[in-house]
Copies of this chain bind each other. A is one copy, B any other.
Amino acid sequence: MDSHPKADTPPTIYDVARRAGVSIASVSRVLNGRDNPRPATRDRVLKASAELGFVPDGAARALSSRLKHVVGVVFRRVYGTDDGGTFADEAESLLFGDQINRGIEIVAQRYGYDLLVCSVNIDERTLPNRIMTIAGKCDGLILHDQVLSPAGLAAVARVAPVVSLAGAGGGDVAVVRSESADSMRELARHLVQDHGYRRLAYIAGHADSPDNVVRGRSFADEARALGAECLTGPAWQGDYSAAGGVEIVRGLISLGATLPRAIACANDQTALGVLYALAEHGLDVPGDIAVTGFDDLPFARHLRPQLTTVRQPIQEIGAQAFEVLHSMITTGQPASTTTEAAADIVLPTRLIRRESCGCPPDPATPSWRRLV
């Protein structure tokens, strides 16, 4: 341990070079694992570097190598509509987004990348600017659903490689999403054929979410094709939040509407809200009304009743997103499977039948929420 008069400025590669008695090129080579330097040189450099506590400057490295080894991740901060306190902390719950980020991070680390995260409030005025700033600080961006309009997406894509999650893609924007149509059709079949429900409804998510559109249409089409009725429309327009689900059910009930026998929700959170509102009015699920979600977030199987839902490989989505982005970064732009358009990856989903649709409970799922 030596202690040089602790310069006010951190040591640079020059300091290391001087101390080791070599050129900065050699230092760089050693530190980057090139095999040119011979052992003796390598050792001296390593020693000097350690003694100085040298840490290469990321900015300089990035500028020189044209690679920052940083990917930007932008997701929407959820400010749930405050429903009198019940779901006021919904924004604080771990949702979809955080899990995807975890997936991204895990793979990113394997490639030596770090995440520059940025949660935005959708109605921010300066949003485009902020995203551009982020873009300047990383090699590529992964944008969650609902953070930018297709036009905005295209604009960003002109600046850096972009992967959009479950959002609108096209142009140079790659997309990673999960299958929605088949599983929603399967859900409709399950509800209509297996349980015999004839009157269904679909509570939509954000109207401009491609995923939501597909889910709603597939579900409704299949249900109707099987001779069942499926309510949709403005009265069933949610916003992916639990509060939204509560709103809709309360509204319908207060209007004296006859609720359908089964309600399929655009996502688990909405289903959570629906479950709450239904319980509030003494309605039994699935006895009186069946409810289903989409996502299969961890809490889905801890609810009472356990939520029937469609499982998305959430972390896998993040992982895939990074893989795609990484290939775009290294190969230069669009990175596609084989064609020359941007990639569009669709991950498989699976219908998870639990109690809320009317199926028997799974005794193998313990839960403290069922006990306390």
Contacts and interface: CB of A to CB of B under 8 A. Distances in A.
Given A272-B368, A279-B371, A372-B279, A58 B98 contact: no
A130 B118 CA distance: 21
Contacts of A372: 275-276, 279, 303-304
Contacts of A63: 57, 59-60, 63
A368 B86 contact: yes
B70 A116 contact: yes
A253 interface: no
Interface string A79-103: 0000011110100111000110010
Given A63-B59, A99-B92, A372-B303, A366 B86 contact: yes
Contact of A10 (B93, B159, B303): B159
A61 interface: yes
A149 interface: no
Copies of the chain in the assembly: 2
Interface stretch (A36-44, A134-142, A204-212, A229-237): A134-142
A337 interface: no
A275 B368 contact: yes
A59 B55 contact: no
B118 A114 contact: yes
B367 A61 contact: no
A280 interface: yes
A137 B114 contact: yes
Contacts of A99: 92
Nearest to A301: B89
Contacts of A369: 369
A332 interface: yes
A46 interface: no
Interface string A132-170: 111111100000000000000001001110000000000
Given A93-B298, A298-B89, A371 B60 contact: no
Contact of A116 (B57, B116, B365): B116
A304 B372 CA distance: 5
30 contacts: A10-B160, A53-B155, A53-B159, A55-B132, A55-B133, A55-B159, A55-B160, A58-B62, A58-B68, A58-B138, A59-B59, A59-B60, A59-B63, A59-B137, A69-B137, A84-B366, A85-B365, A86-B368, A87-B368, A93-B94, A93-B298, A109-B130, A112-B133, A114-B133, A114-B134, A117-B117, A272-B368, A279-B371, A303-B372, A369-B369
Interface of A: 8, 10, 53, 55-63, 68-70, 84-87, 89, 92-94, 98-99, 102, 105, 109, 112, 114-119, 130, 132-138, 155, 158-160, 242, 272, 275-276, 279-280, 298, 303-304, 332-333, 365-369, 371-372
Given A10-B160, A85-B365, 15 more contacts: A8-B333, A10-B159, A53-B155, A55-B160, A56-B136, A57-B136, A58-B137, A59-B137, A85-B366, A102-B119, A105-B119, A114-B118, A114-B137, A279-B368, A303-B372
